[in-house]
Amino acid sequence: MITDANLPAGAARALRSTTAVRERAQQLLARARAGESDGFSVNDGALALAASTVAELTRARFPDGGIPYHSRWRHFEAGGMDRAGQLDALLGPVNAAARARAQIDLALVSVLLDAGAGPQWMYHEAASGQGFARSEGLGVASFHAFISGLFSSDPAQPLQVDAAGLGALTAAQLGVAFQVSDDNPLVGLEGRAALLRRLGAVLSAQPSAFGATGRPGGLFDTLTAHGAGTVAAHDILVLLLDTLSGIWPAQNAIADQALGDCWPHPAVVGEGLTAGWVPFHKLSQWLTYSLLEPFQWAGVRVTGLDGLTGLPEYRNGGLLIDAGVLRPLPADWDTRPWQAGDAFIVEWRALTVALLDELAPLVRTELGVSAEQMPLACVLEGGTWATGRLLAQRLRDGLPPLNIVSDGTVF
């Protein structure tokens, strides 16, 4: 019988959901727990200690219990600077929708630029006199690139991102904005610029979603059409996945359907053409987390926050290795270079998703809070991401446990 899963478009659509992300991740976790994995063994006894460590750091970071979402807006606060407030001041007296469009424009390009920077790169901010590395540095650099008008084609409207501005962007221009030099190299510079140019083409091709000029902020109008005052987090994600699929690396595809952050693993069972594929959509989910606040600041209620998954990247995944929950099995796991599509890395990311779902309620129990009080977005921020970074700093001077070759579009 012909089903959606037997057709390329239907298979791609089936993989664009967090239900699929969780189901495939749980498959691989059950396999590892059964001792059937060549990549990892799972030490369930270490989960409680990992949760206690995360809870301890969460209390230290947020002693009043006011834990914000894990989002790009935290990086805009690096060094104690209120850059969201700076953007508000620059925008001036505009209405809530116009403000939200600008915030979404900024968040979208900044998230797409937020892949591993490498250990040598740093951004020096003239206004604060501070230097920032890694995710904070990328966030601060992208903020200043945005307010300078780098992503806008209209000099009279610098505080926006539009399709023409992105389409004209060169790696050299991005390198200048990010202070890249021989002494300050940024991993994947060409890949980042190419990703933004592809974004420009996709925005231009979909005026119904992004408006005549192709602004990411058009998502606000699309999702709040007809005066909708409530938006589901998963609906934001699905719209991003449906409209932005064309920006991702073309090798991850079923026929002519681009899949994005979705990778093959030989042990994964699925229906029809979805068999063997493990979806993650890490950057799209990170973007969704980062759009929650612009919608809420504009007075839109966002529901179903835990419909999103934990983010399968090297801080959360590193936490599980460094806390002893996951034990890599290959003899050279910590010395060899890995590619994003290697089955070992795909499995590590899947186990990260599944185990974060198990870790989150343990953290809440340690803190004495409910899921409503501390959704997964806050567990990550409190949280697992920060603990992963802390353990990496203690053990390897901040480096992740695995050496992953990055082109700037996944990690």
* 42 bridge partner residues: 326
**How far is it, in rounded angstroms, from Cα 97 to Cα 78?**
26
Tokens of 392: 């990496």
**Phi, psi (degrees; rounded to nearest 5) at 101:** -60, -45
pLDDT in tens, 126-145: 999 999 998 899 999 999 99
Domain ranges across the chain: 4-405
Task: Write down the pTM of the prediction.
Answer: 0.91
The pLDDT value given to residue 143: 98
**DSSP 3-state percent helix, strand, coil across the chain (nearest 5):** 55, 10, 35
The CB density around residue 383, as the number of other CB atoms within 10 Å, is: 29
Give mean pLDDT, residues 218-247.
90
Three-state DSSP state, 132: strand
Residue whose pair of structure tokens reads 């991702």 in the numeric block: 248
At 57, which amino acid appears?
L
Q: Where are the alpha helices (DSSP H) in 246-328?
A: 282-297, 314-322
pLDDT in tens, 3-45: 567 788 899 889 988 999 999 999 999 999 999 999 999 999 9
Pairing of the two strands 122-125 and 130-133: antiparallel
- Band the pLDDT of 217: cuts 50, 70, 90: very high
**How far is it, in rounded angstroms, from Cα 182 to Cα 169?**
21
